[in-house]
Structure 1
Amino acid sequence: TITLPNGKVKVIKSTSEGRKLGTLDKVGSKPILVVKVIDTNGKQRPESAAQISSDVFSDAVNLKSQLSDCSYGELTVTNDYSEALGFTLTQLEKISENIVAPGVMSATIDLDITLNDRYAIHNAVTSKVQSLLGFTLPGPFDQVMYVVEQCYVSCGYAAYAYINSWMSVYQGVYYKHVGVQVHELGHNFGLAHSGGLNGATYTDHTCLMGNPLYSDDVGKMCYNPAKNWQLPWYGGAGAGVFKKVYDPFVDSQFSFKLIGIGEYDNNPSNLPVVVKVESRTTANDLFIGYNRAIGPNAQNDEADNEVTIITTGNNGQSYSQSFLRAHLIQGESHTEVNFAGSGRDLIITADSINMVSALGAPGTASVSVVFVVPPTPFPTNPPTPNPTTPPPTPNPT
């Protein structure tokens, strides 16, 4: 378990047992179910099921709208369940019997939430929902969200989720906070946390896998360049048209122009949204992006319209804690000393940042990278040997 400083969000590395095939896909239509939990004493969130539905699926900024906007329509959260999405008629009938608002059902558990920890509570909810619906969760759903009145035992978190799985659990008001929703679904999708310049786990506030936003209708933020490399959005996971890779061990100097994901839909020059700087290790790769604060990223919380540099492990391909290494305004440079243990420094410079372009063109950032070749040391001549003095000539006799 990883706990946010001051106790905001938790993530649990665990099994994906029970998930349906396809849950880990991050594209296409994603049927999601929200469960309003009622304990044995009637403790439940005061919001109506209709309000909970609105907070997740339909108000000004919500889980559905933000995941769609960040992915540019590649991932669509839905509460419109149908056979076309893999639901059987029997499942649809049972769901219809229990749905109390679009995408929301209630479940009353035989537990007092003031006396039990989160594991006992979510296990009880799972058991009850499975009993009501007649199938093992997640069944035809891709993700299931549990909304609990609040935490009373072993607290210090806003929400938690299981990695590469289907369950997320929210206590108190946090279920309606878009930043928390997108953060937790990110864990379900296999994303790890995003740490900041101080090395703490959650303090990269250029990314919703940090902990930047706690508000109902303020949530227009997406993920950082390392997470964007991992996700299949923007042309596919890993290297491609919009995700480039450079190897400084091959080319010691290179430059490129970036577009922010906030303007990915206005990219006539097919500029990349992420550039990976290859370290030839699994733990030291760098991912560079332009943190354009516009569109789906308009409410970004840190380093607006700056070049951001992120490091992560696993070649950026799977679950790995990332860290913000630097954010640069125009003209600033960042040096990675002894890059990847090579004995050479890597210097990254934001040469220019353009936020206002003519004729409706997107803002861009031009970046250059130099892998410094250490100077050749002057040759050292061997020391001159001390002269040898011959022995004195003996006096003639």
Structure 2
Amino acid sequence: MKLSIPFLLVICGTFSQISAKSSSRRREQDANGSMQCNVKRINGMVRPGQAAVPTQYICHDTEQIYNLSGDVKSFFEGEDTKSGNIEINVPYSAIEPDGNIAITNNEVSPINVTNRRKLYGTSITGKRKVLVVRVSNDNILREKVEQDEKKLYWDVFGDENNLKKVYKRCSGNKLKFVPATGYLVNRGVITVSPPQSVCGMNFKSVSNHAKAQLVGLNIDTDHFMYIMPDCADFEGAEAWGEMNGTDTWIPSRNGSVALVQVHEVGHNLGLGHSGAEYDDYGDKTCFMGAQVPWDDKGAKMCFNAGKLWSLGWYSKHHGSFKPDKYGVKANLIGIGEAQTRGGAVVKEKVIVKLSSSINKNASHLYLRYNNGKGPNQGVVGDKNKVVITQQYSRSSDSHIKAALGPGETYYGTNWDARGNTLVVKHCGFTKGSWGDSPRLASANIVAYVQGETSKNCSVFGNALVSNAIKAPDDSFPGTSSRDSDSDYNRHKSSVYDDSEPGSCVDIPGFYDAYGSDYNCAWYEQEEFLCTSSGSDVPNVNGLTAANACCTCGGGQYIVT
């Protein structure tokens, strides 16, 4: 959505003064009136080793950001606050003089929630404009943003590794961030003066002041990146980003850090954090972690499997499977090979998604070959391994469950919250278009649920490369006897056989009763959409998402 500011309105002073004047004016116009604003969650980023900061809630209207305080979680219980699709109607009398909206509880609060069945994007592509707002008092050293406009342009759009270059490389040129345009905008960057007492002022208050100064400049942008003095109050975080929104807030010390730019705008795109065991930012394979070098250079890498699935750039190479129905086999290629040879590798997968066919509330597992080649050549962790990531829904945080080399096995105990154990095996490599070394080849995996289904590495036959980089047989070194062929044969039955179909595909051409926009790709964005309002209404062919879409438990199975 393009954002433009067509009217001239100059408001000076602190956030409290701006908020008080705005609220006062409204009350004078209609003492019993109300305003509508859009609820957003904002996530704070910290460096490795720093204590995490709690998620905050804000509300946007056409003029400013309001802070939501009080019993916010209870008030929005059962609502998808990550989506950015929730609106609330707020009486002017409920807005405090400092612009704060105090939430009590949903029984006594005068604030009403309005849900919208808003369309989710099936993939995040196209061209998006970014306005870098440099909030700086250049006459006072402490209140000055270190980077001038030329430096910020170069660091965000120009040099080798930045917001623009990372998303362009990782998407295969499908998503492009370009400089915003407008009066006084210098190649995507504009400087505005902060209030007199910016030091110690909350970062949201600083951006409200800056936003007021942008009115009337006819600025065409999709995203606002506020770079402000280090002395502003960031509440213990190194930066903040709005989930499924437009705004990011970064102190000057991090304004040129590629990781911070990519990470915070990733929140705007709906991406949650990427963690590992005991560390919510511990994923070294993904920009939504915090393990990339904190400098201008950063690292030449991309995102984990769950995040790439959500972004939709490689949807032609997605594979959605229910391993508790049928054993799974798949050949995983790196994103670089998909970019250069996409038409020649139609059967290979960039991402495999494993889901329970029975428990739709269980988290999904996403598998990706973390090939250290092409756009991912500088990945800082688990290079050339099959990385297994757990993620519940499109905007959820993710966590690495395992990183498998050739011959290694992952056991997901109680993976479906029903007591069953999922087995994923890295069977070895197949020679790829870039050669047959582990760094260049593609990876073969099988997956099944113990006692219910089966699949054996022998299904790949002689396609595996030399013994140096393949599993010698199905009894992998370092794994338990559960992986032996005898165990495989014990689990195998006439019902679950390697010859059975194993890949779920959506019913072609399905869309629900609300129109062609609401197809299986739309339902795939978030699990809760399968039970959302209207999902149970049959379309003209008598089908619902539960019949037609793999994500919702429907679809049809084909031979893999």
In which range does the TM-score fall when normalised by the shorter chain? 0.7 to 0.9
SS in 1 for 2:255: helix
Q: Which moved more, 1:356-365 or 1:27-36?
A: 356-365
CA contact (8 A) 1:331 1:351 kept: yes
Match for 1:6: what amino acid? Q
TM-score with structure 1 setting the length: 0.79
Q: Which moved more, 1:156-165 or 1:276-285?
A: 276-285
Instruction: Confirm or deny that 1:133 pairs with 2:177.
Output: no
Instruction: Confirm or deny that 1:281 pairs with 2:360.
Output: yes
Matches for 1:306-385 after TM superposition, within 5 Å: 306-314=385-393, 318-353=394-429, 363-373=441-451
Q: 1:223 deviation in Å?
A: 1.1
CA contact (8 A) 1:193 1:322 kept: yes
What is the match of residue 218 of structure 1?
298
Instruction: Confirm or deny that 1:259 pairs with 2:333.
Output: yes
Q: 1:345 deviation in Å?
A: 1.2
Summarize the Cα distance change of 1:52–1:332 in structure 2 as closer, same or farther, 3 Å threshold.
same
Q: Deviations over 1:252-277 (max 9, x none)?
A: x2211001123321332222111001
What is the match of residue 376 of structure 2?
297
2: CA distance, partners of 1:155 / 1:207: 25
2: CA distance, partners of 1:57 / 1:104: 10
Summarize the Cα distance change of 1:257–1:23 in structure 2 as closer, same or farther, 3 Å threshold.
closer
2: CA distance, partners of 1:294 / 1:9: 34
SS in 1 for 2:165: helix
SS in 2 for 1:340: coil
Matches for 1:48-127 after TM superposition, within 5 Å: 48-79=148-179, 81=181, 95-96=182-183, 98-99=184-185, 101-127=186-212
Question: Residue 174 of structure 1 is aligned with which of 254, 257, 260?
Answer: 254
CA contact (8 A) 1:182 1:208 kept: yes
**CA RMSD in angstroms, aligned pairs only:** 2.9
Q: 1:371 deviation in Å?
A: 1.0
Q: 1:175 deviation in Å?
A: 1.4
TM-score with structure 2 setting the length: 0.57
2: CA distance, partners of 1:62 / 1:331: 37
What is the match of residue 90 of structure 1?
none
1: CA distance, partners of 2:59 / 2:242: 8
2: CA distance, partners of 1:27 / 1:11: 27
Instruction: Confirm or deny that 1:28 pairs with 2:152.
Output: no
2: CA distance, partners of 1:330 / 1:272: 18
2: CA distance, partners of 1:158 / 1:32: 20
Q: 1:354 deviation in Å?
A: 5.5
Q: Deviations over 1:365-396 (max 9, x none)?
A: 111112110799xxxxxxxxxxxxxxxxxxxx
What is the match of residue 50 of structure 2?
6
Q: Deviations over 1:292-337 (max 9, x none)?
A: 12222122111011000011113xxx21111110111111111001
Q: Which moved more, 1:29-38 or 1:6-15?
A: 6-15
Match for 1:260: what amino acid? G
Q: Deviations over 1:211-251 (max 9, x none)?
A: 1221212232211101111112113xxxxx31101111210
Q: Which moved more, 1:179-188 or 1:341-350?
A: 341-350
Q: 1:111 deviation in Å?
A: 3.7
Q: Deviations over 1:324-364 (max 9, x none)?
A: 10111111111001221233211111111358756699631
1: CA distance, partners of 2:154 / 2:167: 15
Q: Which moved more, 1:36-45 or 1:326-335?
A: 36-45
Summarize the Cα distance change of 1:10–1:188 in structure 2 as closer, same or farther, 3 Å threshold.
farther
1: CA distance, partners of 2:289 / 2:434: 34
Q: List, as ranges, runs of 4+ consecutive aligned residues in structure 1 with deviation greater than 6 Å.
A: 8-11, 21-25
CA contact (8 A) 2:334 2:350 kept: yes
2: CA distance, partners of 1:344 / 1:365: 26
1: CA distance, partners of 2:431 / 2:206: 49
1: CA distance, partners of 2:432 / 2:45: 40
2: CA distance, partners of 1:334 / 1:178: 33
Summarize the Cα distance change of 1:304–1:359 in structure 2 as closer, same or farther, 3 Å threshold.
closer
Instruction: Confirm or deny that 1:209 pairs with 2:288.
Output: yes
Q: Deviations over 1:92-125 (max 9, x none)?
A: xxx23x12x3111100122422131212212212
2: CA distance, partners of 1:301 / 1:57: 23
CA contact (8 A) 2:45 2:240 kept: no
1: CA distance, partners of 2:398 / 2:60: 22
Match for 1:74: what amino acid? K
Summarize the Cα distance change of 1:7–1:296 in structure 2 as closer, same or farther, 3 Å threshold.
farther
2: CA distance, partners of 1:11 / 1:66: 26
SS in 1 for 2:349: coil
2: CA distance, partners of 1:183 / 1:283: 26
Question: 1 or 2 for the larger relative contact order (CA 8 Å, sep ≥6)?
Answer: 1
Match for 2:272: what amino acid? A
How many pairs are equivalent? 345
CA contact (8 A) 2:44 2:237 kept: no
Gaps in structure 1 of 5+ consecutive residues: 82-94, 236-240, 377-397
Match for 1:133: what amino acid? L
What is the match of residue 92 of structure 1?
none
Summarize the Cα distance change of 1:62–1:192 in structure 2 as closer, same or farther, 3 Å threshold.
same
CA contact (8 A) 1:258 1:290 kept: yes
